[in-house]
């Protein structure tokens, strides 16, 4: 509960960028969980303020799942920008699971999917027992929503 309250408070600080929020959260997660967690940030990642809040919430939920369920020793959070989208990847070296066999009362994966979709994003879970888990969320960038020009189609 304390983790959720701290996350809600921190996500509303307009004086910090998304990378700053992620740096603080990942450092605190590493300290409190004992799971060595790396943060990889591409330069120039920009999203709408609403999307940035949802990214932070998805990362928080994904790392909470790593702590609670994975048995992982290491995790990585990677925020990257492609030509028309921003991707957030949270992966771990834990036990993994079969995403088709999640608990019907499970809130975490559903909440992450709902958060991503609320800002036109898409959530993908890649996991198998014994192989770790990779959570990928992709969000269109504002310029990624424009139609492609003919000369861009061949590139």
Inside any domain, residue 70: yes
Residue 154 inside a domain? The answer is no
Q: What is the total count of domains within the chain?
A: 1
pLDDT at 140: 86
Q: How far apart are CA 132 and CA 95, in angstroms?
A: 5
Is residue 150 in some structural domain? no
Range(s) of the domain holding residue 134: 2-142
**Which pLDDT score is estimated for 150?**
45
Q: Give me the residues of the chain with pLDDT under 50, please.
A: 1, 5, 8, 145-150, 152-155
pTM, entire model? 0.82
Pick from 30, 104, 101, 39: which is nearest to 67 by CA?
A: 30
The predicted pLDDT at position 45 comes to: 82
**126, β-bridge pairs:** 134
Residue 81's CATH number: 3.30.565.10
Q: Which pLDDT score is estimated for 153?
A: 42
Q: 147 exposed, middle or buried (CB, 10 Å; 0-12, 13-18, 19+)?
A: exposed
């Amino acid at each position: 509960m304390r983790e959720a309250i701290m996350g809600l408070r921190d996500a509303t600080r307009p004086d910090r960028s998304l990378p700053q929020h992620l740096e603080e959260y990942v450092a605190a997660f590493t300290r409190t969980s004992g799971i060595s967690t790396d943060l990889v940030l591409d330069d120039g990642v920009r999203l709408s303020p609403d999307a940035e809040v949802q990214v932070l919430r998805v990362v928080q939920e994904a790392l909470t799942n790593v702590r609670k369920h994975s048995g992982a020793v290491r995790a990585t959070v990677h925020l990257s920008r492609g030509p028309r989208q921003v991707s957030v990847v949270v992966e771990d070296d834990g036990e993994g699971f079969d995403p088709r066999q999640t608990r019907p009362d499970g809130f975490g994966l559903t909440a992450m999917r709902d958060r991503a979709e609320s800002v036109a994003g898409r959530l993908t879970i890649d996991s198998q027992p014994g192989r770790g888990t990779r959570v990928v969320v992709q969000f269109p960038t504002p310029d990624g929503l424009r139609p492609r020009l003919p000369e861009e189609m061949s590139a």
